[in-house]
Structure 1
Amino acid sequence: MCRGDDVNCPDFETHFKAFKQEIDPGRRNFLRSGMLGAAAGAAGGLSLVTPALAQTSARNGPATPSFHYLPATAETVHWGYFSKTLSPRVEIDSGDFVTIETLTHHAADDLERMVQGDEGAESVYLWTKDKKGVERRGAGSTDPAVYKIGSGEGQGVHIMTGPVYVRGAEPGDVLEVRILDCTPRPSANPEFTGKSFGSNAAAWWGFHYNDMLNDAKREVITIYEVDATGDKSWAQAVYNFKWVPQTDPYGITHPTIDYPGVPVDHSLTSRNYDVLKGIRVPIRPHFGTLGVAPSEADFVDSVPPSYTGGNVDNWRIGKGATMYYPVAVDGALLSVGDPHASQGDSELCGTAIECSLTGTFQLILHKKADLGGTPLEEMDHPMLETQTEWLVHGFSVPNYLDTLGPTAQSDIYGKSSIDDAMRDAFRKMRKFLMTTKGLTEDEAHSLMSVGVDFGITQVVDGNWGVHAIVKKDIFAGRV
């Protein structure tokens, strides 16, 4: 059922208006004073946004927030990269709400279920012998004399909606991104009414690929079905198939999954419908790639995560969560993509259930001049807050664009290390505990060993990730 998140619904305008009323800050008693933080009421009021900072930041925006809607079309997405050079697709004030449609870059694995009849998706995935709806796919060359497999060379794969320009945002500020809602995009094909679909590719970049039994390497795609009405909380497999060489409409043959959006010709595949029978995968919709534009290069591959966020691939970045990002360029230029219906920690085989979603966000700007003495002071990495937990994200190379220099975007793929990601997560959590909770170094070390959970976020994104989780109620006795 449409809740103001299905632009193809004939009653979309009515449903979207009702949804806006549902999340209206007045109706939900959001105070533009001390309790603006999404998690402020949880765990004894513990939040990274202090009441004083919330009051100060509230003055950066209008008294009454506005609502914006950003659909996913060939005109509103950029495919495979972040860029400080992009023109905004919408401009908002701090405190405004924005509903953003996101499309999975794996929809071409089953065009019938994930694209057909969907006007926005069809415009993005359009590819004939004469044109593509979105030509550039990746941060690589756009010169036909240089690229070999397609414009952008697939150096970056995610369909990103945006960017969103936040008025007043400047380098050194922190952008708070509250995820208020996150729902599957219904299939527009009448044959699949009430359903949504996603693709899981066990691909050549997966952690498993060089450790397959009998060294029988192959890429296998599994198509999953999700209940778009919200009545069922699980996904189930529909079929799988082995990738076979596909020739795109421009005549380039792709022996592996090496370029995003190549339409799969299923007359060449063999579909196996006898797969994962009786298995129900709990859905936890979230955005795998969410972040602001880096400053170090004009076009940045969307695959490796970095200090401005991006492809963090943490399944906890969903409804009810809040992300904090250091702003690197004017306007912040937030983009959202890589939507997932579900994912396990590690994203081991290369992808999650890649499923188009629509999210509603509230964006709040915290100015650098106001951050002194607050938990957001010196925030130089993406951080996640839920109602009950704080999470830091460690990467093999925290700011690879700066550390690795001019060849960073190619070199990072040879620098992946769980050891380095673990050390970065440890250092970030230690700093968090010492600076925001006032612990000594020795106290922080002890608490991390007995009360902090470290986990592998992903091992497939070129810049591997480890997250560290500390529960807020550990500190409840201090409130």
Structure 2
Amino acid sequence: MAVEQIDLDAVPGDGRSDIWRQTLRGVGLLPLAETGCLDTGTVTSFRAPAGARMTMVQARGQSFAFSAPGKAPGPLVLLLVLSGRGRIVAPSKAFELADSDLVVVAPEAGVQVEMRGDFSILLLDLSRSAVEARVGRNRAGFPVVLGGTVAASAARPVLRTLAMNLDTLGAGDFAAAEVAVTELVSGALLAELRGNGHERTDSQMANFRRVAAAVNRRLGEAGLSIQDVARDEGLSKRYVQRLFKQHGESFSDYVRRLRLERCKAELADPAHAHEAVGAIAMRWGFRDQSYFSRAFSSAYGVSPSNIRRGVGTVADGRPLQRGKPLKRPAAPMAFPRSAAEFRTHGESPTTELAEPFRQARFHLPANAQTVHWGYLSKSLPPVLTVRSGATVTVETLTQHAGDASERMIQGDAGAESVFEWTRDWKAVDRRGAGPMNASIFGRGAGEGFGVHILTGPIFVRGAEPGDVIEVEFLDIRLRPCANPEFAGKAFASNVSAWWGYQYQDSIVPGARRETVTIFEIDLTEPDVARPLYSYRWTPQTDPFGIVHETMDYPGVLVDPATVTPDWRALRGIEIPARLHFGTVALAPREEDLVDSIPPGYFGGNIDNWRLGKGSRVFLPVSVPGGLLSIGDGHFAQGDSEVNGTGLECSLTADIRLTLHKASGEGRPFLRALSGPLIETETHWVLQSFSYPNYLRELGRDAQSKIYQHSSIDLAMRNAFRQARRFLMEHYGMNEDEAHCLLSLGADFGVTQVADGNFGVHATIPKALWGDGDR
């Protein structure tokens, strides 16, 4: 068993074309000459001990053939479109491909596949002899699209499950799934052939299914004969022989093949590792060990003992923390109110937000009309339009202001408008990427699948997919408390939350709790924060009457009468300032509503404290205008964000936005940038995650699965690959030089383990190049 993966994001730009073509050829695909869009792409391939191969290809705009016409027949290929649109072309027919289409291809027929835009497909080798034994030889004019039969419908979720676990798949699971998929596909093919008027009558097909079921029931009987089956089913021996002849396989060949398939599945299954090979063979009707070994090796090209030596295990996934459930109702779209909706409440949007800007400096306040809460979306209308080079003062609000509303909301008109929530009115209704009717958990609109208050989005004129937007932080400052009782102060909150690393690992097992600590910052000495008091979260009831046992929905104001403050918590501690924004994001292209918690190639909830004043972050554009949103202000945070939050506060920033066109002459590392890159005065910071593009890599239900599949190992691997690629592209190093420098001069650190998609960063000092960053 072997799993191999090539990810173009880790490959320097100059070598991508050759490596991509070589990789595709290695999995049986021939890239066509017009194959072009190579800015991103991943090929993950699994090969079982017996030689069967399963491959997932994720990329953009690819065209390829399965094999050169006339090549000797090998395995059939089953193609499942996990996502995307395209077209399959054969010499005698062509048809469109869409999500969940399932196609059986004979590779030697010169079939071509043309995929448009972002796509993900799964390819699985199928034993030609096994399929032909079930449906008859030379009966199907491949390629065949498997329609809406029960068998095809059952095969699709099995294949999707295999695709989702491809990188941790065990040989035993694969062998069992291979048998099941082969049976289901064969059944679906039979239904297609029946619908196309092939020679067997309905009665003959029904009788063959009866006979096949009888064989399966008695497969372990060593002396099973055609007379026994015919007698059991009330048919003549001659009629049963004719049924198998029509099927293209003798009775004895059919029984031997099924027995070998069952043995193969159990030999590859770790659950049967304690059993002798001979015992498994005998259970499935083989009385002669030597005959079994010869038949097995002849059928699969590998001995039974070698199949067993290839057995692997499946790694357990992490328990679900946050995110949408795997099964959920469709979520209707809902966005910040339009101008007409504002007017129904006696409000009006400002003129500067309604019209495109032409000046170079702008001010973007934070209020109910300029923020969106808990999600990113390519469909959000921009609240501000600027040109490259513009400077914008952006106000942001922390989603934790309700932890001490008298200090962080009261008297602040912008904050009050965002947090306004009474029994009759909720100013910002959607909070998260879930459904508006809260049909999953009943927590509130959006279900809290995403928590951050984000100001924006900002549309950058001329920004197109493939470009890069540079966000430079000229200044970052605290938002003062507006309550006269606390004049000259600012406040911040830290929560040891239920999604934090510590929650399942308390000193006393099972003693889980959420603890809020409020910090005070004196604006005359804003470089330190001092703890004011702490309290343990108690169940809070929101204005709609829903009780929140934990912090499971953002913006619920804590009633001071329900908690007991500890004014002695962390006495004498001072936290030095590291002002930064946890979330700096462009809109991803893959989905319309994206949970704000897991970060990705588009930026998002990066939570890296190095992204402070004087730094800049480069983000790849995937939708027109980029649609930049900023929020999740932090006074400070340590690497890992181990208890689930930083020192959360409301911040205001002056930023400069610069557009780098893909076609322009610029820094080499900006060409086909595949994820966030941070630059400070002294360092490069390469930021990566367990899944840089989890929305594509994890397929359907990615926003749930990311919380189950993330690991520091994956994040470390991707950070290493990104750092290596950066050194090779920007500094012209070869691979060996990059490996040496990364080990001697770079620091790899855990950015966060709180955001579903774990983060690891590589910090490279510019001083390694002496006097200048050449």
Shorter-chain TM-score tier: 0.7 to 0.9
Q: State the 1:146 CA deviation.
A: 5.1
Confirm whether residue 248 of structure 1 aligns to residue 542 of structure 2.
yes
Higher relative contact order (Cα pairs below 8 Å, separated by 6+ residues): 1
Separation in 2 of the partners of 1:125 and 1:272?
26
Confirm whether residue 212 of structure 1 aligns to residue 536 of structure 2.
no
Change (3 A) 1:477 1:187: closer
- Which amino acid letter does the alignment assign opposite residue 237 of structure 1? P
SS of 1:435's equivalent in the other structure is helix
- Which amino acid letter does the alignment assign opposite residue 513 of structure 2? R
Higher-Rg member (1/2): 2
- Which amino acid letter does the alignment assign opposite residue 225 of structure 1? E
In the alignment, structure 1 segments of 5+ residues that lack a partner are 1-63
Other-structure match for 1:272: 566
Confirm whether residue 136 of structure 1 aligns to residue 421 of structure 2.
no
Other-structure match for 2:670: 376
1:10-409 → structure 2 map (5 Å cutoff) = 66-145=360-439, 148-215=442-509, 216-229=511-524, 231-371=525-665, 374-409=668-703
| Greater helix fraction, Structure 1 or Structure 2 | 2
For the 8 Å contact 1:141–1:147, the answer to whether it is kept is no
User: Where does structure 1 differ by over 2 angstroms across 4 or more consecutive aligned residues?
Assistant: 143-147, 371-375, 476-479
Other-structure match for 1:39: none
SS of 2:670's equivalent in the other structure is coil
Other-structure match for 1:471: 765
SS of 1:379's equivalent in the other structure is coil
Q: State the 1:273 CA deviation.
A: 0.3
- Which amino acid letter does the alignment assign opposite residue 576 of structure 2? P
- Which amino acid letter does the alignment assign opposite residue 514 of structure 2? E
Change (3 A) 1:372 1:356: closer
Q: State the 1:475 CA deviation.
A: 1.6
Other-structure match for 1:422: 716
> In the TM superposition, what whole-angstrom CA distance separates every residue of 1:339-380 from its partner, at most 9, and x where no partner exists?
000100101000011000000100000111115772211211
- Which amino acid letter does the alignment assign opposite residue 219 of structure 1? E
> In the TM superposition, what whole-angstrom CA distance separates every residue of 1:183-212 from its partner, at most 9, and x where no partner exists?
010000011111110110001111111111
- Which amino acid letter does the alignment assign opposite residue 157 of structure 1? V
Q: State the 1:144 CA deviation.
A: 4.7
Separation in 1 of the partners of 2:364 and 2:576?
28
SS of 1:369's equivalent in the other structure is coil
In the alignment, structure 2 segments of 5+ residues that lack a partner are 1-357
SS of 1:406's equivalent in the other structure is coil
Other-structure match for 1:6: none
Separation in 2 of the partners of 1:177 and 1:377?
17
Change (3 A) 1:476 1:120: same
Other-structure match for 1:433: 727
Q: CA RMSD in A?
A: 1.3
Separation in 2 of the partners of 1:425 and 1:95?
30
> In the TM superposition, what whole-angstrom CA distance separates every residue of 1:105-154 from its partner, at most 9, and x where no partner exists?
00000100000000000000001011111000001111255551000000
- Which amino acid letter does the alignment assign opposite residue 387 of structure 1? E
Separation in 2 of the partners of 1:465 and 1:359?
24
SS of 1:447's equivalent in the other structure is helix
> In the TM superposition, what whole-angstrom CA distance separates every residue of 1:367-413 from its partner, at most 9, and x where no partner exists?
11115772211211110000110011120111000111121001000
SS of 1:213's equivalent in the other structure is coil
For the 8 Å contact 2:438–2:446, the answer to whether it is kept is no
SS of 1:429's equivalent in the other structure is helix
- Which amino acid letter does the alignment assign opposite residue 124 of structure 1? V
TM-score normalised over the length of structure 1? 0.85
For the 8 Å contact 1:65–1:97, the answer to whether it is kept is no
SS of 1:206's equivalent in the other structure is coil
Q: State the 1:266 CA deviation.
A: 1.3
For the 8 Å contact 1:65–1:95, the answer to whether it is kept is no
Q: State the 1:227 CA deviation.
A: 2.5
For the 8 Å contact 1:160–1:337, the answer to whether it is kept is yes
SS of 2:663's equivalent in the other structure is helix
- Which amino acid letter does the alignment assign opposite residue 766 of structure 2? K
Q: State the 1:269 CA deviation.
A: 0.5
For the 8 Å contact 1:371–1:377, the answer to whether it is kept is no
158-167 or 440-449, which deviates more: 440-449
Separation in 2 of the partners of 1:285 and 1:65?
28
Q: State the 1:438 CA deviation.
A: 1.1
SS of 2:722's equivalent in the other structure is helix
TM-score normalised over the length of structure 2? 0.53
SS of 2:504's equivalent in the other structure is helix
For the 8 Å contact 2:513–2:536, the answer to whether it is kept is yes
- Which amino acid letter does the alignment assign opposite residue 141 of structure 1? P
Separation in 2 of the partners of 1:146 and 1:409?
15
Change (3 A) 1:82 1:475: same
For the 8 Å contact 2:676–2:688, the answer to whether it is kept is no
Identity of aligned residues (%): 55
Q: State the 1:232 CA deviation.
A: 3.7
- Which amino acid letter does the alignment assign opposite residue 173 of structure 1? D
For the 8 Å contact 1:194–1:228, the answer to whether it is kept is yes
- Which amino acid letter does the alignment assign opposite residue 719 of structure 2? A
